Amino acid sequence: MNNELKILGRDPIKNDVTDTLVLARDKFPGSSISLDALCKRFNIDLSRRKKHNALLDCELLREAYIN
């Protein structure tokens, strides 16, 4: 996003970002770290996930991150 703002000549957004993919790789090396795999690992209900839905994925990732 900041690259796109730079192209437009706008100031970047200053915020800290937590890359959950890096966290999962560090915590579970060699294991599958897809959202589905993380949800299964933490017994998070995936029944609402019938197709890709960004908002639902964010909610599921939040639950996995808390675990």
The 10 Å CB-count burial string (b at 16+, else e) for 13-30 is eeeeeeeeeeebeeeeee
Please count the residues of the chain.
Answer: 67
Residues 17, 48, 52, 55: which is the catalytic one? Answer: 52
Asked if 28 is an active-site residue, the reply is no
Which residues does the annotation mark as catalytic?
52
